[in-house]
Structure formats: structure tokens, C-alpha cells
Amino acid sequence: MTTIAQLPPVVTVGPTDLLPLSQEGLLYAVSVSQLNANAQPIITVPMGDLLGRRSIGPGAPESISVGTGLALSTGTLAANGADHAGFPVQSAMSLTDDLVISANNAPGLLPVTALRGLFSAGSGVSIDANGVITAASVAGPAGPAGPAGATGPAGPAGPAGSGAGLSAPAAGNSASSIGAADYVALWQNGAPAWMPYGQFLGGQTIDQLPAAGPASDSDELLVAQGGNTLSTQSFGAIWTYVQNKFPTVQQGVVELTGNTVLDSTAHNNRILVASAALTLTANFANMGPGFSCTLINLAPGAITMGAGITSGSGSTTLPPGASTTLQGLSYSGGSLVWWSGIVPNAPTLTVGSILAPAPSTAFLVTGGIFNDAPTALDYSTNGGTTWIAAPSPIITNNAFSFMAPGLAAGTYALRVRDHTNTAIVGVSNSFTITPPSVSLGTLPSVAMLNGQLALSGTVSPSTAVQVGLSTSATTPPSAWVSATVSNGIWSASLTPGTVGMFYVWAEQTANTAVQAISAAFSVVAASLSVTAPATGTAGTTLGVTGTVTPAADGVNMQLSTQNTTAPSSGWSAATNSAGTLSASLTPAAAGTYYAWAQDAVSGLTAVSAAITVAAAPAVTYGVNNPGGSYVHGVNTIPLNGAITPAQNIATQVALSTSNMVAPSTGWESATLLDSNSLWAVYYTTPATAGAYYVWVESSTGATPTVSTFTLPVT
């Protein structure tokens, strides 16, 4: 078979020449003109032209010539500036004009006003704010002094000084108030002068005042009454005020439950109540002369006066039901803590504190015996109307105890008497025996499906409790959970597995008739949604909305540049109105954002569709001249200016003696007013005198703008 390589080469190719073509498995012949019918024709472009199309509509490429100001050299098209010759010629330069410059090999614009910063006035030359240069005559060196001439006649009076000076106050003219910017007249260096009131008071400290003599009722202090206006008040009037307060002062009461060392901080001028038999001791160094306290023994046993306490009678015990006073004394014989030691000797029975037992449960009764020797005891639960013999009492020289049978629910104060000498009676504290009960704490009106429902309540007596869920307030739950019980408080948790209306049941495990049933509440599946606008502008708030179930859940929102993983920080609380959410979020820059919502209770998250945020429009700052002059380090300077176009952009302001280099420090945040079309700030007056330019820029340092005027600070 003959191959293509074995065929003779063709010398020329014509449009009618044929080539073999395989089409759908069959061999056909195709002419060269048919094969090239849709091919791009040869493009011929004159030297120095570009390839393009200047005709309207689609079509073949056309030649485009290079115009003035452009040149094509070695395949590169570049501007040569030849077109500048055709620019209109200005007859004069204006302060609002800009110059085209090359900065760091890049084109830029330079305000004509900035050119003034390149020049400084030398000797004999001045440059004003409008750029006018003025030459002043320069005096030559002084010649030798000639001889003194004869005194001439007095010259005419000079012209009156410019500006209104400060006049002295007229007779009888008084000020209703005075501020830091007001002036005070002074005599300085043989001439009258004025000083701001704020400087007049500044820097004076209390150690610069003269020392006062001995205090008296006529001495006075500065006081403010109902405002910041100062007035005087005498020591005598203050003492009368303090005396009138004395009757309202009440002694503090301190309960003593164990052995105690007396101390002035905790016990001086207090009423001390002992609720248990104990020993008191004293350290005079911690009490001092003048220490005083009242001691009342409400314990079932005696109080022993220990080390550091001196008795007037030699007695060292205070019996139950008695009281005394302890005092700290210093005299020629030394220092001591003293009490009289005089105590009643009447026979006494005391009854110790009784904690309320459970209903119908026997309980222990204990007490003290003083100057009595009973052989049997009786007790009463109804105020002494009827008496019952104490069963098998244990009686010693100074104490007793017995088990009292259980009582029904109610409030009692147990009385105990000497069976032989019935006039000797002791009375216990009041205690209340409550019937068995169980209670439920407050439940939410809505609970989450498969969420933990925390429960708690009280139980009396403190016994086992079980809890469960039921769809009925009359049919008990089919399953129960044991609660944790501690000192009459129980707690448990349940997990609802289906949606619907439910009741919580709580009951005593050993006595199921003692129960509590909650109000009905609903179990719902948690849900969360969030919706945001499709577009926005950087620096402008977006209104984001959504819904949440349960409706009472707190929800947080924020913006993120991704929609795959919930943010881990930076959340802001959304407003929740009965499950309807709203929030205002502000994108900082242009880009694609997503609004995220997070249910702080259920942990659910939701994300919105994409938000396309466009860049904020370029901002132009204006600076208004506040006029006037300012004293260095005193008060503030009111500054403001325009924001064009109006937009919510964080703005900062600073002062500098240079209008070429922006300040590196001293920036203060401005407030935006008039629908974000005006910035304003009360700027702190510089501490150093000088002529200051006002600089304003965004808080990120963008668009720095400097005033064309200066502020005089003297």
C-alpha cells in the first residue's frame, strides 16, 4: 500500500484541488476551497497601526491608527505626553488647582496649597496664609553712639490701643456664679493684670494652707447642700445634727454559740446572747478601757467566766436565764475586765433548743438544772394546761434528758417542771412540726424536645423523692426517676422524648400519697432561622431578622465571611420579641458576608444566604474654622466639618503645627451628627502654645485631610 510519505510533493495548491475526507465511515473528496471556507483570512495591518474594530456591530478586524500622545515602539504602546500640547492654557494658578506629579514612579495629584510647605521664610522675608511673599528691610549693623542731645519737648499722645480690654467691675455688681473661664483681677509687677479663675485655683493643695488653732463651735467647714454650690457650716451646728442622730442608734446583737474571747471590734457596745453553755475569756489589750457589753444567758447551762475576767463577788458562773454587764477599766490599780458576779440563786430548770421533728416521731428533750435536785420531771405541750410525766428521764446534778413521744403537726413550746416543786419550770424555744409534704419549683412554660429539664423542690420530712412525666394531671407517670435529697431540698432532671403537653409529678417514695403535680407545659422541637438583606454597604448597618423556638430563648447574631462553620466568638445579643428576632449588624469592609444566629439555650445555629457588601463611597472631609484664640492647657476647642457623601465612618481628629506630616499621636474620636453628614469634637486644647493645623481622617488612617487655616494657641 502506498503511504503519504511515498507520494510526490505538490508544487502549488489551488482552490479546486481535492483532499481525501472520512465522514461517517465513508471516504469522500473535499476541495481546498471547501476546507478553508470558514478559516480566518490573512490579516494585513499597516506598520504603526493596531488591530481592532472601529465599525459598529460584529465583523472582521480593522486597522486602528495610534493617536497623539501615544507611540508604538518595538511592540509596546506607551504615552509620550505629546497630547499635553493641546491642553487649554490657564492664565493664572488657583489655590484649588492640582498639579500632576510623579511620586515613587507612579502618577499622582498635588494640591497647589501643599507647595507652600516646601518653602520657609528666611531672614527679612515673610509668607502669609495666601502664599504672598513679602521682603522686609534688613537693618545693617548699628553705628557708634553719638553724644546725648538736649531733651526735646514732649511728643503728642500715641493712638488708642486696639481691642476691648477687661473693665473693672462696677460698684454693687456681683456674680451669681463663677466658672473656670472667668477672670480674676490681680496686681502683678506694679501693674493690674487678669488671670483665668481656673488657673487661679489650679495646683493648690491642702498642705499649702495655714494651720488652724484649737477647734471651737464657731469654726466652719465648707459643705454642699443639694447641689455643687459651696456654703459654710459651723462645728456647733454639726454637733447638734450628730446629737439628734444618737437616739436612732441601736445596739447590735451578737449570738455566742461556743467558747469566745471578747474583742472590742466584735463585742464592744453589743448585746451578747449565749445560746449554748460556754466559757468567756478576755484579753484587755484587745478591748481597752471603756469597753462595755451586756451578756444574757439563754443557754440551758451556765456561762463560765474564764481567764482575764474579774468577778466582784468571786462567782465565776452566770446561770441560765441571768444577765450581767462586762466592762473594761483602767485605774491606779491596773487594767481589768470586770463583772459584778452577783447572780440569782433561785432554783432553775432550762430547756435546750428543740429542732422540729417529723410528725408522730419521738424526739429528745435536754436541759440544765441550777440549784435544784429533782427526782422526776413533767412536761407540757399546751402552755401548762395539762402535764405529762416525762418517761424515764436521765437526771444528773446539773442536766437532764428524756425522749418525748411524737406530736401531731402544729407549733409548740415545750415546758418542763420539777415533779415535786412544780413552781420550777423551764420553757423551750418555739418549734413547728409540719405535715409531710413535697413541693415543685417553678417550671418553664415551654421545654425542648430531648433537652434536659432541671427540677427541684422541697420535701418534709427530708426523705426520698421520685419524679416523672405524664400527659395527664390525674394519671401518674409510667416511669419514675429518683431525686437527690439533701436537708429537705430535692433535685432531679428529666428528658422529654416526644412533643406535646406534659405534667411533672413529684412524690415521696415511701408515701406516694404525698405528691405535687405541676401545671401543664409544652414540649417543642427547637428551631432557629435567620434572614438578611441580599446587598449592603461597608460601614452601614444591616437589618437582620429571624425566628426562634422556644420563643423565650436568648439568641446571638454576628456577620462572618464564611457559611460553613459557626463563629466561636464575637456574638452580639439579638432582640427577641415573642420568638421574632432582630439585630443591626455592620460589615466593616466590602465582600461577601453571611449572617449567623445562635440559640444560647439549645445550641442551634442558623446561617443566612450570601450578602454582597459593596465598598463604602469615597469620603471627603471638610474642616470648619471655629475662629478665636485659645489658652494652652485650658478647656477645649469646638471643631467640626462636613462628611461628603454622608456615611457612617469612624472619624478621628488631631492638631499639629505641621500641615505636611499627619500627627502620630493626639488623635481624638469625633461624633457623627446630622445623619452622618457632619463630624464634631470638643478637642483638648494643646498644652503648648503655637499655631496648629486641624487634621481629620478615618479611624483606620484613610483620607487624611488638613485645614488651610491655623488655630492660635497662646
Whose CA is closest to 484, among 493, 476, 471?
493
Question: Does residue 59 fall inside a structural domain?
Answer: no
Cα 683 to the center of its chain, rounded Å: 25
Same domain? For 484 and 509 the reply is: yes
With beta carbons less than 8 A apart as the criterion, state whether 451 and 487 touch: no
Same domain? For 475 and 451 the reply is: yes
User: Cell for 11?
Assistant: 508544487
Tell me what pLDDT residue 49 has.
Answer: 73
676-685 pLDDT, tens digit per residue, is 999 999 999 9
Domain boundary, last residue among 409, 433, 457: 433
With beta carbons less than 8 A apart as the criterion, state whether 638 and 655 touch: no
Scan for cell 446583737, then name that residue. Answer: 253
Whose CA is closest to 465, among 414, 508, 401, 419?
508
pLDDT at 343 > cutoff 60: yes
Question: What CATH code is carried by the domain that includes residue 645?
Answer: 2.60.40
pLDDT at 176 > cutoff 90: no
- pLDDT-derived band at 163 (thresholds 50, 70, 90) equals very low
Domain boundary, last residue among 524, 557, 578: 524
With beta carbons less than 8 A apart as the criterion, state whether 615 and 589 touch: yes
With beta carbons less than 8 A apart as the criterion, state whether 636 and 669 touch: no
Q: What percent of the chain is modeled with pLDDT above 70?
A: 90
493 burial (CB, 10 Å; 0-12 / 13-18 / 19+) is middle
pLDDT at 532 > cutoff 90: yes
Compute CA distances 487 → 60, 411, 463, 491, whole Å: 98, 20, 9, 12
With beta carbons less than 8 A apart as the criterion, state whether 369 and 302 touch: no
Q: What is the mean pLDDT of the chain?
A: 87
pLDDT at 148 > cutoff 70: no
pLDDT at 120 > cutoff 80: no
The secondary element (H helix, E strand) that includes residue 79 is: strand 76-79
Question: Does residue 317 fall inside a structural domain?
Answer: yes
Question: Does residue 9 fall inside a structural domain?
Answer: no
Q: Count the alpha carbons within 13 Å of 551 in the hemisphere toward its beta carbon.
A: 6
Task: Give the total residue count for the chain.
Answer: 714
Name the residue type at position 191. A
**Contact partners, residue 129, CB within 8 Å, separation at least 6:** 708, 709, 710
* Distance separating alpha carbons of residues 235 and 221, to the nearest angstrom: 7
Q: How far apart are the first and last CA of the chain?
A: 110
**Contact partners, residue 266, CB within 8 Å, separation at least 6:** 254
Compute CA distances 364 → 128, 351, 353, 389, 692, whole Å: 104, 11, 10, 15, 90
Same domain? For 625 and 642 the reply is: yes
- pLDDT-derived band at 573 (thresholds 50, 70, 90) equals very high
Same domain? For 368 and 429 the reply is: yes
Whose CA is closest to 707, among 671, 689, 683?
683
Same domain? For 333 and 363 the reply is: no
Same domain? For 407 and 475 the reply is: no
Question: What CATH code is carried by the domain that includes residue 387?
Answer: 2.60.40.650
Question: Does residue 148 fall inside a structural domain?
Answer: no
With beta carbons less than 8 A apart as the criterion, state whether 533 and 611 touch: yes
Question: Does residue 112 fall inside a structural domain?
Answer: no
Question: What CATH code is carried by the domain that includes residue 457?
Answer: 2.60.40.10
**Contact partners, residue 91, CB within 8 Å, separation at least 6:** none
* Distance separating alpha carbons of residues 380 and 420, to the nearest angstrom: 15
Same domain? For 584 and 650 the reply is: no
pLDDT at 220 > cutoff 80: yes
Question: What CATH code is carried by the domain that includes residue 282?
Answer: 2.60.120
* Distance separating alpha carbons of residues 505 and 77, to the nearest angstrom: 89
Tell me what pLDDT residue 565 has.
Answer: 93
Query: Of 606 and 160, which is predicted with more confidence?
Result: 606
328 burial (CB, 10 Å; 0-12 / 13-18 / 19+) is buried
509 burial (CB, 10 Å; 0-12 / 13-18 / 19+) is middle
Average pLDDT over residues 52-57: 76
Same domain? For 407 and 447 the reply is: no
Average pLDDT over residues 464-481: 96
337 burial (CB, 10 Å; 0-12 / 13-18 / 19+) is buried
The secondary structure of 492-525 as a DSSP string is EEE---S-EEEEEEEEESS-TTSEEEPPPEEEE-
Strand 521-524 vs strand 446-448: parallel, antiparallel, or unpaired? parallel
Query: How many separate domains does the chain show?
Result: 5
Q: What percent of the chain is modeled with pLDDT above 90?
A: 55
The residues facing 228 across adjacent strands are none
With beta carbons less than 8 A apart as the criterion, state whether 379 and 365 touch: yes
Helix (H, G, I), strand (E, B) or coil at 305: strand
Question: Does residue 54 fall inside a structural domain?
Answer: no
| Bond into 550 cis (ω within 30) | yes
Name the residue type at position 278. L
Domain boundary, last residue among 433, 467, 483: 433
* Distance separating alpha carbons of residues 582 and 544, to the nearest angstrom: 6
Is this prediction's pTM over 0.85?
no
pLDDT at 171 > cutoff 60: no
Average pLDDT over residues 342-369: 90
With beta carbons less than 8 A apart as the criterion, state whether 66 and 77 touch: yes
Question: Does residue 566 fall inside a structural domain?
Answer: yes
Max Cα-Cα span within the chain: 156
Tell me what pLDDT residue 160 has.
Answer: 57
* Distance separating alpha carbons of residues 340 and 426, to the nearest angstrom: 25
Same domain? For 372 and 331 the reply is: no
Question: Does residue 426 fall inside a structural domain?
Answer: yes
pLDDT at 183 > cutoff 90: no
pLDDT at 436 > cutoff 50: yes
Residue 674: domain span: 620-713
Instruction: Classify the C-alpha dihedral 309-315-319-324 as positive or negative.
Output: negative
Same domain? For 385 and 331 the reply is: no
- pLDDT-derived band at 56 (thresholds 50, 70, 90) equals confident
Tell me what pLDDT residue 636 has.
Answer: 93
With beta carbons less than 8 A apart as the criterion, state whether 694 and 666 touch: no
228-246 pLDDT, tens digit per residue, is 888 899 999 999 999 999 8
Average pLDDT over residues 554-574: 93
Around Cβ 565, how many Cβ atoms within 10 Å?
10
The secondary element (H helix, E strand) that includes residue 264 is: helix 264-267
pLDDT at 98 > cutoff 50: yes
286-320 pLDDT, tens digit per residue, is 999 999 999 999 888 889 999 999 999 888 999 88
* Distance separating alpha carbons of residues 273 and 322, to the nearest angstrom: 11
pLDDT at 186 > cutoff 90: no
* Distance separating alpha carbons of residues 568 and 558, to the nearest angstrom: 11
Same domain? For 584 and 657 the reply is: no
Tell me what pLDDT residue 491 has.
Answer: 97
Scan for cell 442608734, then name that residue. Answer: 249
* Distance separating alpha carbons of residues 331 and 268, to the nearest angstrom: 19
The secondary structure of 355-366 as a DSSP string is ----TT--EEEE
Query: Of 208 and 453, which is predicted with more confidence?
Result: 453
Same domain? For 550 and 485 the reply is: no
- pLDDT-derived band at 184 (thresholds 50, 70, 90) equals confident
